[in-house]
């Protein structure tokens, strides 16, 4: 694929701005010489003028077109792939719109509101021979790929436990109220789908993704949720995932009211701990944008010698931008290789994770409005 991958941006909010600015950065600044991206269109649900303002804000090529509806965007013949950047309450309907229009799709996480919707997206992508990927951007960070390889190579032995947290530490009433997407049930608001997807991803990276196929079994789930009284959205969610094939446990937590890093100086320690029989990997920086890790060898309590024969390592990795370009590069490479799904974030894994989050919600009676849980497409007035 020698020509640039032509992107359409569906929605014009903050995440779309960040992604598109990253997308348009010179790939050589991140050491990539095999990818090319351009933006040919964007759409706002409010107006074409808002879409055009967005295109100017992100520095898109002057010929890029702004549309006042998503339906217009997906009809544009100059769009190869659509980045869906709406709230996750709308991912199913918006991604289906793109797939039915024969456009490849990169859809923001959480992939959908429930697993049934995710399965329908995958079935539609298969039917139409289209690429589809959940935009779990950290999967494609070099630091994450590096850590996964270390773990796969047995650097810290057999991995038995992963702790991962992403918590904000905000005054929910004044920061979010009841209309903000984080607390609004009509937008599938709540800590788990918005923040918790990151600690869940850290758990699955090491206890599911890198495991051999015979060990990739869905986990058993135990969980607890505290709801935000004014809306019923989850404001604190704690999950234990037990992976039966390896007897390993992943503990993923998320919370609006307390922070994983209360002083913004990492004094509280790592947000992620990956614990193996021969040592531990500690990951610093927020779970959604890790920058620093430590590898600590385990000591044999009887001999006083380390178990793995490696020394303590303390490593910082630079991010030449925000970091969302790496998932876009993955889309380019998959399409170049005529692959419909990414090995880094496969369809089956997205569905397994959505199934696990469905179970958390079921255990805690967390139900979203029927309209956004629906598997019917299209829905009128959505």
Q: Are residues 212 and 105 in the same domain?
A: no
Q: Are residues 251 and 274 in the same domain?
A: yes
Q: How far is CA 20 from CA 32, 52, 110, 307, in A?
A: 17, 14, 19, 46
- Partnered with residue 306 across adjacent β-strands are 299
Instruction: Kindly state whether residue 336 falls inside one of the protein's structural domains.
Output: yes
Torsion of CA 81, 85, 89, 94, to 10 degrees: -30
Instruction: Kindly state whether residue 360 falls inside one of the protein's structural domains.
Output: no
Cα gap 218→350, rounded to integer Å: 11
| Cβ-based neighbours of 319, under 8 Å, separated by 6 or more | 141, 289, 291
Q: How far is CA 167 from CA 195, 229, 247, 257, 288, in A?
A: 7, 18, 27, 7, 11
Q: Are residues 185 and 252 in the same domain?
A: yes
For residue 382, the model assigns a pLDDT of 78
Structural domains of the chain, count: 2
pLDDT over threshold 90, residue 90: yes
- The tens digit of pLDDT for each residue in 43-81 reads 999 999 999 999 999 999 999 999 999 999 999 999 999
Peptide bond into 239 cis (omega under 30): no
Instruction: Kindly state whether residue 356 falls inside one of the protein's structural domains.
Output: no
Q: Are residues 82 and 120 in the same domain?
A: yes
For residue 364, the tally of other CB atoms under 10 A from its CB is: 16
E strands present in the chain? 5-10, 37-43, 65-67, 81-84, 104-108, 132-135, 159-167, 220-227, 234-243, 248-255, 272-276, 279-284, 292-297, 313-316
Q: Is the pTM of this model over 0.95?
A: yes
- The tens digit of pLDDT for each residue in 106-134 reads 999 999 999 999 999 999 999 999 999 99
CATH at residue 336: 3.40.50.720
- The tens digit of pLDDT for each residue in 205-254 reads 999 999 999 999 999 999 999 999 999 999 999 999 999 999 999 999 99
- The tens digit of pLDDT for each residue in 299-357 reads 887 777 777 788 899 999 999 999 999 999 999 999 999 999 999 999 999 999 999 99
- The tens digit of pLDDT for each residue in 133-184 reads 999 999 999 999 999 999 999 999 999 999 999 999 999 999 999 999 999 9
CATH at residue 308: 3.30.360.10
For residue 133, the model assigns a pLDDT of 98
CB 243 within 8 A of CB 236: no
| Cβ-based neighbours of 68, under 8 Å, separated by 6 or more | 43, 44, 45, 46, 47, 48, 49, 50, 51
For residue 169, the tally of other CB atoms under 10 A from its CB is: 13
For residue 1, the model assigns a pLDDT of 66
List alpha helices for the chain, DSSP H. 14-23, 48-58, 70-75, 91-100, 115-128, 142-152, 172-175, 191, 197-204, 325-336, 347-363, 370-373
Q: Are residues 342 and 213 in the same domain?
A: no
Angle between helices 347-363 and 197-204 (to 10 degrees): 120
CB 188 within 8 A of CB 327: no
52 φ/ψ angles, rounded to the nearest 5 degrees: -70, -35
Instruction: Kindly state whether residue 357 falls inside one of the protein's structural domains.
Output: no
255 φ/ψ angles, rounded to the nearest 5 degrees: -160, 135
Q: Which domain holds residue 21?
A: 5-136+324-347+366-373
293 φ/ψ angles, rounded to the nearest 5 degrees: -145, 160
pLDDT over threshold 80, residue 381: no
Instruction: Kindly state whether residue 352 falls inside one of the protein's structural domains.
Output: no
């Amino acid at each position: 694929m020698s020509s640039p991958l032509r992107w359409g941006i569906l929605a014009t909010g903050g995440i779309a701005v960040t992604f598109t600015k990253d997308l348009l950065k010179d790939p050589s600044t991140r050491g990539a010489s095999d990818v090319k991206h351009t933006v040919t269109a964007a759409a706002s649900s409010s107006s074409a003028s808002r879409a055009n303002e967005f295109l100017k804000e992100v520095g898109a090529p002057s010929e890029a077109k702004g549309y006042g509806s998503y339906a217009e965007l997906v009809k544009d013949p100059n769009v190869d792939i659509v980045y869906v950047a709406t709230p996750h309450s709308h991912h199913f309907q918006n991604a289906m719109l793109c797939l039915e229009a024969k456009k490849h799709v990169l859809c923001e996480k959480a992939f959908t509101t429930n697993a049934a919707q995710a399965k329908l997206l995958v079935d539609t992508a298969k039917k139409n021979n289209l690429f589809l990927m959940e935009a779990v951007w950290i999967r494609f960070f070099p630091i994450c790929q590096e850590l996964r390889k270390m773990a796969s190579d047995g650097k810290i032995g057999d991995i038995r436990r992963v702790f991962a947290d992403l918590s904000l530490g905000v005054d929910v009433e004044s920061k979010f109220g009841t209309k903000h997407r984080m607390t609004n049930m009509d937008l599938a608001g709540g800590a788990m789908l918005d923040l918790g997807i990151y600690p869940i991803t850290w758990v699955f990276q090491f206890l599911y993704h890198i495991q051999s196929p015979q060990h990739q079994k869905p986990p058993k789930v135990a969980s607890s949720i505290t709801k935000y009284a004014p809306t019923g959205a989850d404001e604190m969610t704690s999950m234990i995932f037990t992976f039966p094939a390896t007897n390993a446990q992943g503990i993923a937590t998320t919370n609006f009211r307390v922070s994983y890093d209360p002083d913004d100086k990492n004094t509280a320690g790592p947000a992620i701990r990956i614990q193996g029989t021969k040592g531990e990997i500690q990951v610093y920086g927020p779970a959604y944008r890790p920058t620093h890790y430590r590898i600590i060898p385990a000591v044999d309590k009887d001999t006083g010698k380390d178990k793995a024969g490696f020394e303590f390592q303390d490593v910082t990795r630079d991010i030449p931008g925000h970091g969302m370009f790496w998932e876009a590069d993955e889309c380019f490479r998959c399409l170049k290789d005529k692959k419909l799904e990414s090995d880094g974030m496969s369809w089956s894994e997205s569905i397994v994770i959505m199934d696990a989050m469905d179970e958390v919600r079921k255990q805690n009676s967390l139900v979203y409005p029927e309209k956004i849980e629906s598997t019917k497409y299209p829905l009128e007035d959505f």
